[in-house]
């Protein structure tokens, strides 16, 4: 299923065609493609080149591992994420390795790594759906994650499938038009709340 964004300006197809499905096709992700996703994440920029992000990955080729990660998701996410061929747990170390001081940009840097990973996935014909709905205490216990590592989100990765694979309520959300706030609400110039003008000819 394709669901390209109806953008106001001409964007790279890689950005325009990226979206976050809940319906995933029953098709595995090649191990080499997974390597490419994590290599893309590895080359994201980070504060002092700390690279604080860490991932736990589970694929349906290992049903026990996949079930463990899926069990740590919110029940509403388990319903559809259980069908995704790959699940990721996305974490970030909250202190600098060199001195133990707090890294205020750790979550920002994980976001950059996930942006790289998602762009690479899109280029490979894959989709990524990130989820905030997770049970962090359960996941920390399941994987023995240290206390100085923040558990931020989970993600489902795979090939998008048709919306009719989902229960109707979720299928309707899948088919709904994609919308975003206008730039005027997001980008200011001169003072807070003063919209920057946009060149609509591009």
* 187 assigned to some structural domain: no
Number of domains in the chain: 1
Cβ neighbours of residue 10 closer than 8 Å, sequence gap 6 or more: 202
Position 200 scores a pLDDT of 65
Q: What is the mean predicted confidence (pLDDT) over 18-24? A: 94
* 3 assigned to some structural domain: no
* 59 assigned to some structural domain: yes
190 Ramachandran zone, left/alpha/beta (phi>0; psi -120 to 50): left
End-to-end, the C-alpha distance of the chain in Å comes to 28
Q: How does pLDDT run across 113-145, given as a tens digit for each residue?
A: 999 999 999 999 999 999 999 999 999 999 999
pTM for this model (two decimals): 0.93
Length of the chain: 202
What CATH number did the domain enclosing 148 receive?
A: 3.40.109.10
* 175 assigned to some structural domain: no
Q: For residue 47, what is the enclosing H or E element?
A: none
* 110 assigned to some structural domain: yes
Contacts from 62-69 at CB under 8 Å and sequence distance 24+?
Answer: 68/142, 69/139, 69/154
* 182 assigned to some structural domain: no
* 119 assigned to some structural domain: yes
* 1 assigned to some structural domain: no
Question: Which residue range(s) make up the domain with 23?
Answer: 13-165
């Amino acid at each position: 299923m394709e669901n390209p964004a109806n953008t106001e300006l001409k964007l790279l197809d890689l950005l325009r065609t990226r979206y976050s499905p809940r319906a995933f096709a029953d098709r595995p992700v090649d191990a080499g493609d997974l390597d490419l996703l994590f290599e893309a994440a590895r080359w994201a920029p980070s504060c002092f080149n700390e690279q604080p992000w860490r991932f736990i990955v589970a694929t349906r080729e290992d049903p026990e591992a996949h079930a463990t990660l899926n069990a740590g998701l919110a029940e509403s996410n388990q319903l559809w994420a259980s069908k995704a061929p790959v699940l990721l747990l996305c974490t970030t170390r909250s202190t600098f390795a060199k001195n133990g001081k707090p890294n205020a940009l750790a979550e920002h840097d994980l976001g950059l790594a996930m942006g790289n990973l998602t762009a690479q996935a899109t280029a490979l014909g894959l989709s990524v759906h990130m989820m905030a709905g997770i049970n962090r205490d359960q996941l920390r216990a399941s994987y023995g994650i240290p206390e100085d590592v923040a558990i931020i989100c989970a993600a489902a990765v795979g090939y998008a499938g048709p919306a009719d694979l989902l229960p109707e309520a979720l299928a309707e959300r899948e088919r709904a038009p994609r919308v975003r706030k206008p730039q005027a609400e997001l980008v200011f110039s001169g003072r807070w709340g003063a919209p920057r003008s946009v060149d609509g000819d591009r």
